[in-house]
Amino acid sequence: MSPELLNQSAVILIFSVNAILLMALIALKVIHRRRMKRHEGRRKEYLGLLSRHMSFENHTEPITEPIAEDPAFLDALIDMRNAITGDDITTLRRIVNHHGIIERQMRHLDSSWLLGRRLRAAVALAELGDETSADMLIRHLDDREPEIRIQCARGLGRIRWTPAIDQIVSRFGKEIPWVSTRFSDTLVGYGTRATWPLLAYIRINHRFETEGAVLALRTLAQIQDDEAVGPLLGILAETSDLEVQIATVYALGEVGSPQALNALDSLLDSGEWALRAKAAGALGGLGDAAAIPRLVNSMRDENWWVRRSAAAAVARLPGGTDALYRALDDDDQFAADAAAEALTDIGELVSARRRADEGSRIEPLLAHMRSEG
């Protein structure tokens, strides 16, 4: 092949590809945009149609087969599901069942090879699914696509499918962090029903699957079930893993039961600064003013994070603000600094200035700051 022919071919090839790209760009701009616009228009129409079906019991306007298969109709159903409550949900479910929406989406989720379609199906099942889709959702908790696993868990949570709790919890340690964190959100939605499965998982796995156990503890912290306090104290006494200890202390602080006071108090003497800091923070969450003297003592800790956490915890307790003002005169300069920072953080300085009463309570704080300057 002569160099000229080679050049010629290269130019033709390159410009042909350019022409294809240009056409694709124009097509995307024109056709795709127009399609999206039409989709949006239909979705709005369908929302109107659904509203009429909801509002009038004997409404006879037909929902034909092509409408039921239209993705815009699916989007309208999802929008409607998120906007209604009470009896309207039953009416909507009747429409969904009558037109076989769930079955169709289950088929798509199971057999389509298009990621977009499978994701749409998973979202639809998460939003509109019922008991009939629970088995499939559980099966797809092991789907190859992480986002689908998340949507399946969300769907199970949405219908409060209790048998799925164990299935979701058992995947904590095996999942990638993004998915397990979303699983945790789903379990929080289950509320106190997830407490015992989570505790059982922690008891069994805290030695082998630290990451999963820590996430389970964080989930319990959000559920805030008083019944968890006893078992959590047991785990705290049993474990030697620092991460698990920290997460347990955090959970105890979030649950906020005074039952945990002594255990947390003793951790303020721990050799690990991170544990001391977390215990201080957790004591602030218990709401018991009895912890103030010990926390003020921790404001003299050698570690700045412990001092800061202790001061912030004091600020959360009843009578804590007064204790912090007193701590401004502490012989330990670090403790006084921590108190000043906590007082500033809770807005003492700003609010006092706004109230224009600098001369009263705020004076020691200002004096402390001036001395630092």
Partner 1 sequence: MALEILEWIGYATIGYFVAMQVYMLFLAVVSAAALRRNHHLRRFGRVGEMLSSRTTPPVSIVIAAYNEAAGIVDAVRSMSIVRYPRFEIVVVNDGSRDDTLQVVVDAFGLEEVRIPYRPDLDCAPVKTIYRGRSGVDITVIDKENRGRADALNAGINAARHPYVFCTDADVVLDPDCLVHSMQRVVEDRARTVGVGGNVRPLNGSRVQLGHLIEASVPKRVVPRMQILEYIRNFLASRPGWSWMNAVPIVSGAFGIWKKSVIVEVGGLTEGHMGEDMDLTMRVHRHLLDKGVPYRIVYEPAAVLWTEVPDSLRVLRRQRIRWHRGLMRAVSDFRGMTFNPRYRQMGMVIWPGFVLFEYLAPIVEFIGWFVVPAAWFLGALNTTALIWLLLIALGMGLLNSLLALLLDESFGYFNSAADTSRLIAMAVIENFGLRQMTVLWRIRALLGGEDTKAWGNMERRGVGNLARQE
Q: Which of 53, 108, 149, 154 binds partner 1 (CB under 8 A)?
A: 154
Is 108 a binding residue for partner 1 by CB under 8 A? The answer is no
CB of 315 to partner 1, least distance (A): 13
Is 8 a binding residue for partner 1 by CB under 8 A? The answer is yes
Whole-angstrom Cα distance, residue 79 to residue 127? 9
Q: How far apart are the first and last CA of the chain?
A: 82
Is 25 a binding residue for partner 1 by CB under 8 A? The answer is yes
Whole-angstrom Cα distance, residue 323 to residue 312? 12
Q: Which amino acid is at 195?
A: T
Number of amino acids touching partner 1 (CB under 8 A): 54
H helices present in 256-362, as ranges: 261-267, 273-286, 292-298, 304-316, 320-327, 333-345, 348-355
Instruction: Spell out, one character per residue from 296 to 335, where the chain touches partner 1: x when CB under 8 A holds, - when not.
Output: --------x-------------------------------
Whole-angstrom Cα distance, residue 283 to residue 8? 78
CA distances from 164 to 169, 171, 332 (A): 9, 11, 54
Tokens of 205: 């796995």
Nearer Cβ to partner 1 (64/82): 82
Q: Which of 149, 338, 362, 364 binds partner 1 (CB under 8 A)?
A: 338
Of 49-57, 101-109, 167-175, 337-345, the window that binds partner 1 (rule: CB under 8 A) is 337-345
Is 3 a binding residue for partner 1 by CB under 8 A? The answer is yes
Q: What is the DSSP letter of 224?
A: -
Check if the beta carbon of residue 216 is closer than 8 Å to that of residue 169.
Answer: yes
Is 123 a binding residue for partner 1 by CB under 8 A? The answer is yes
Is 273 a binding residue for partner 1 by CB under 8 A? The answer is no
Whole-angstrom Cα distance, residue 174 to residue 158? 23
CB of 188 to partner 1, least distance (A): 8
Q: Which of 84, 119, 200, 274 binds partner 1 (CB under 8 A)?
A: 119
Whole-angstrom Cα distance, residue 188 to residue 178? 16
Check if the beta carbon of residue 248 is closer than 8 Å to that of residue 236.
Answer: yes
Whole-angstrom Cα distance, residue 360 to residue 325? 12
Q: Which of 330, 341, 361, 363 binds partner 1 (CB under 8 A)?
A: 341
Q: Which of 177, 237, 331, 356 binds partner 1 (CB under 8 A)?
A: 177
CB of 312 to partner 1, least distance (A): 11
Whole-angstrom Cα distance, residue 77 to residue 61? 16
CB of 203 to partner 1, least distance (A): 22
Q: Which of 353, 357, 358, 367 binds partner 1 (CB under 8 A)?
A: 353
Nearer Cβ to partner 1 (28/204): 28
Is 350 a binding residue for partner 1 by CB under 8 A? The answer is yes
Q: What region, left, alpha or beta, does residue 14 occupy, with left being phi > 0 and alpha being psi -120 to 50 degrees?
A: alpha
Is 4 a binding residue for partner 1 by CB under 8 A? The answer is yes
Tokens of 36: 């999206």
Tokens of 244: 């698990």
> Which residue, among 305, 3, 312, 334, has the nearest Cα to 323 in the 3D structure?
312
Which chain residues interact with partner 1 by CB under 8 A? 3-4, 7-8, 10-11, 14-15, 17-18, 21-22, 24-25, 28-30, 32-33, 115-116, 119-120, 122-123, 147, 150-151, 154, 176-178, 181-182, 184-185, 188, 211, 218, 222, 304, 337-338, 340-341, 344, 347, 349-351, 353, 369, 372-373
